[in-house]
Structure 1
């Protein structure tokens, strides 16, 4: 069999259609400090895996803050996280995702649920969007799931990195057009979003970026609908039909960018697009010395702790008004 597409260490696609994915080793997800790996602190959270839809193989991992047996006495905000991986690789069980999200739930004092959606090329877009929307519907269905019951479904935040950041945008539009009764969206945290287009940004033309550009092109080739190019609205979201009314109804947004990320200009363009559509609060924060998805590869690094702190500040900002279930609101700048 011939290998027709490959991301070394993560994915191989063979000529007969066979897909082989690799789980990165735990030592992949660390950053050295003074020549030695950072020590992992004792966990201050609990986690459990749940099935969203067994027939479609949609599952999730729920993280709940718990320090020294402490149990929160009031309902906590809920942060729904969509992992990255170019829509083709990744799972919430990878050590980097697990460590980052466990730390985030503690720092943020919130319930975190991380969704495992079906992957391309076996399941091309919009399957990932469909699966993530199904997970949002699942949250409001009656069930004996105590950690979901401990979450305040009127204070829901959508977050994700790379392909997950892309999913956040498309989930927001889908919720506007097909609201999930009982779910109130309070804000979006979009990290190093995976957007693109047939045109090239300046960073993408640099010689040093070509291996990365070839990899992202391959991910889009494997995940977009058959026959679509990178100007498809799933990839180049400015080409989608977003009305000014929908733009004005966007909840507050923070777009996190990495200074050494080839996708940085696409993230900036996305923020500009939201503002052009009337979104009332769009903030861009740049970690100048960091790479794409640094918080997943280095979940114990100082830059990751800063990101977690910024996300916690966003979630718990005191001047953000409460969000009635099923209604979109935005706060002023």
Structure 2
């Protein structure tokens, strides 16, 4: 069988449609307290399947209601897992720093499950959360009036689309009050200036491959899943959209897409949009270097956004 698509070290897709994934270093969940938090794996829906890893911080008061951060991992919709070492340690430390319950979702991956399946899986995770706060002792402190959606790369894309579904459906069981979008993975048929640079050719080719594998067959990069300009929401929906902070990395060739996304939200009338740049950092640096100084700063910025809605983090790039 011939290899028809490949992300070296992560993914091979063969001519018969079969897929082989190579997992990097992974971390097991630790139900016992370690480094200020506990973690465990749960099944959200065995029939799809969808699972999650829950991170619960050590708190001084067990009666305190805690905000909930629902996190979606990146990986071009084709790879990635809650179990990866970088995600486990980044989210565990974040849950303690922010004093929040983190629910990290493992959704179904493309190309076996093309978009919008990942969006539906992640939206369903909110449904699951709303019912299990009454049956899972790890969620008994969860405050569903303070839910935040977050994710990196493709997970940032998912956060955007899940928020759109929330605004359209208006569920009464959960209130999404903020989005923390990290290095969002968007695209279009029209290239950005950085994407057209000679030195970006390898990254562009890889991203085009992931879009071919994840979008519905026959779709262009102007499909609504890829191109945020195609989003459909009423004017009042945009005005009531949750507060958004978009994080970009200075060395990331997708930085322009993040800036454009923040500007798009502002034009649509979203009331609170911030753009924060990590200068000198690369795409999803927090996953590959979860204990770096830059990652610690990102965790602090995210925590400030979640802890006090009136004291939003400052932006280096004004909109």
Which TM-score tier does this pair reach, normalised by the shorter chain? over 0.9
Is 1:242 paired with 2:236?
no
Aligned partners of 1:136 and 1:180 also within 8 Å = no
2:136 alignment partner in structure 1: 145
2:4 alignment partner in structure 1: 4
Is 1:221 paired with 2:212?
yes
Cα deviation for residue 26 of structure 1 reads 6.0
Once residues 234 and 242 of structure 1 are traced to their aligned partners in structure 2, the CA distance between those partners, rounded to angstroms, is 14
2:199 alignment partner in structure 1: 208
Cα deviation for residue 74 of structure 1 reads 0.6
Give 3-state SS (helix, strand or coil) of 1:166's partner. Answer: helix
Q: Deviations over 1:162-191 (max 9, x none)?
A: 001001111111011112322011111000
Any unmatched runs of 5+ in structure 2?
28-33, 313-318
2:249 alignment partner in structure 1: 258
Q: Deviations over 1:210-265 (max 9, x none)?
A: 11111111110000011101011110011222332221111111000001111111
Give 3-state SS (helix, strand or coil) of 2:194's partner. Answer: helix
Count of residues paired in the alignment: 306
Match of 2:274 among 283, 301, 318: 283
Aligned partners of 1:140 and 1:181 also within 8 Å = no
Match of 2:284 among 270, 278, 293: 293
2:65 alignment partner in structure 1: 75
Trace 1:73-222 onto structure 2 (pairs within 5 A). 73-142=63-132, 143-222=134-213
Task: Give the stretch that moved more between structures: 245-254 or 90-99.
Answer: 245-254
1:32 alignment partner in structure 2: none
Following superposition, which runs of at least 4 residues in structure 1 exceed 6 angstroms of deviation? none
Once residues 207 and 309 of structure 2 are traced to their aligned partners in structure 1, the CA distance between those partners, rounded to angstroms, is 38
Match of 1:46 among 14, 25, 38: 38
Aligned partners of 2:168 and 2:233 also within 8 Å = no
Cα deviation for residue 319 of structure 1 reads 2.1
Match of 1:316 among 304, 307, 310: 307
Once residues 290 and 127 of structure 1 are traced to their aligned partners in structure 2, the CA distance between those partners, rounded to angstroms, is 31
Aligned partners of 1:77 and 1:155 also within 8 Å = yes
1:18 alignment partner in structure 2: 18
2:58 alignment partner in structure 1: 66
Cα deviation for residue 289 of structure 1 reads 0.6
Aligned partners of 1:243 and 1:277 also within 8 Å = no
Trace 1:265-280 onto structure 2 (pairs within 5 A). 265-280=256-271
Aligned partners of 2:304 and 2:311 also within 8 Å = no
Aligned partners of 1:161 and 1:191 also within 8 Å = yes
Give 3-state SS (helix, strand or coil) of 2:56's partner. Answer: strand
Q: Which has the higher contact order (CA 8 A, sep 6+)?
A: 1
Any unmatched runs of 5+ in structure 1?
28-41, 322-332
Q: Deviations over 1:121-155 (max 9, x none)?
A: 00000000010011000011154211222110100
